[in-house]
Amino acid sequence: MPTLWIRSARVIDPASKRNGVDDLFVVHGKFVPSLSAAAKKEAQVIDAKGLVACPGLVDIHVHFREPGQTHKETIGTGARAAAAGGFTTVVCMPNTAPVADNAGTIQFINDAARRDAVVKVLPTGCITVGMKGAALAPFGSLKRAGVVALTDDGECVQSNEIMRRACEYAKMFGLPIMDHCQDAALTQGSVMNEGTISTRLGLRGWPHAAEDIIVARNVILSEYTGAHIHMQHISSRYSVGIIRRAKTRGVKITAEATPHHLALTEDALGTYDTNFKMNPPLRTEADRRALIAGLRDGTLDCISTDHAPHTDYEKDKEFDYAPNGILGLETSLAVSLDVLVRRSKFQLSQVIDLMTRQPSRILGLPAGTLATGAAADVCLFDPNESWIYDAKAGFSKSSNSPWHGAKLTGRVKTTIVDGRVVFADGKIVA
């Protein structure tokens, strides 16, 4: 493992409150405060002048599809897409085939990650057996197998009684619950946000109330049981308001927003392009602005991609029948910088915080910092470089992105995991 000397970067680390031009030093995969003159002569030098050096990005919501759906993505290809996007730690969802509701499947995922992944891939386990919402999965054995959270993402536990018991048992085992907030009875056959545009397009509308009701339910159950519930991919301004009020009471909840819900609205669906079809759906401009305000004031805690690969032939269907979901890992940083820094006047350090320290804090992960002694996970990026995103030439096995062919600004140049360069100059090098 080489000694690294990252020289003359603009170092931004919200966790240790660093923000200025500086050098970073790595020995045996850990950050150290300095190198001796002899060590500097032997070190691998990375000239980072003009680049930002921040902690490796952390995404607590990705779908890597393995086992069982490897025609869409594998842990290996998903990890390479993550590295290309500057991510060094990702948390994968359990809606695989079979679903990750037992220790054996978690072991399979961990083995595949150790064998194939160039970044750190951490598993979650199901809340319920088969993700069917009827009986709790074995939380204790899932924790022993290495899950970092529990979720039925892709589904939502509809029974309040089952969710209450899940909260109680998850708290016993010290595991957060991550919830995909959707009242299924209100969304049968729904494919886009309910409103005038859905009426004009002749597509069945998806009311924001379907999200708001479950968010409110989760606030009540978190307050009642003391369990930590994390709300995934919030899209509704009413949900933002519910979460904001709950946090003033100290309720143990957290929440995330995705780059696509920050950047896009239902207006993008006018051409029936299924690469803009997702769950929850793109909503109104008022919703989009509320998400940004929620990130600004801390109501929403972090940015996650909900990276959801699908093949071209799956997406190439009538809008009603195409699956929900888009790619996100390779475009997340650039899209977030555009929406939040350039258009909404966030500080660059705020956005980095939302993509490093904050997601790590939510799940208690040992990531998201450049502090001495921490694992040397680094993202080096040029915030001003413009580039054209070609989803078909990307590192994911799929190409379902609304940003295919778009000009983006802000490009990852190098990704380092545990002191090893895994991505540089547009190539995986690990």
Catalytic residues, by residue number, are 306
CA 202 to chain centre: 32
How many whole angstroms separate alpha carbon 76 and alpha carbon 35?
A: 34
Query: Where would I find the beta strands (DSSP E) of 125-176?
Result: 150-151
Residue 428: CB atoms within 10 Å: 17
Q: Are 142 and 169 in contact (CB under 8 A)?
A: no
The contacts found for 383-388 with CB under 8 angstroms, 24 or more apart, are 383/52, 383/337, 383/341, 383/348, 383/409, 383/410, 384/409, 384/410, 385/409, 385/410, 385/411, 386/411, 387/334, 387/411
- Residues 206-245: b if buried by 16+ CB within 10 A, e if exposed: bbbebbbbbbbbbbebbbebebbbbbbbbbbbbbbebbbe
- Find, among 310, 172, 297, 154, the residue nearest to 232 by Cα: 154
- Find, among 237, 231, 233, the residue nearest to 217 by Cα: 231
- Alpha carbon of 40 to those of 6, 26, 33, 231: distances in Å? 11, 11, 13, 46
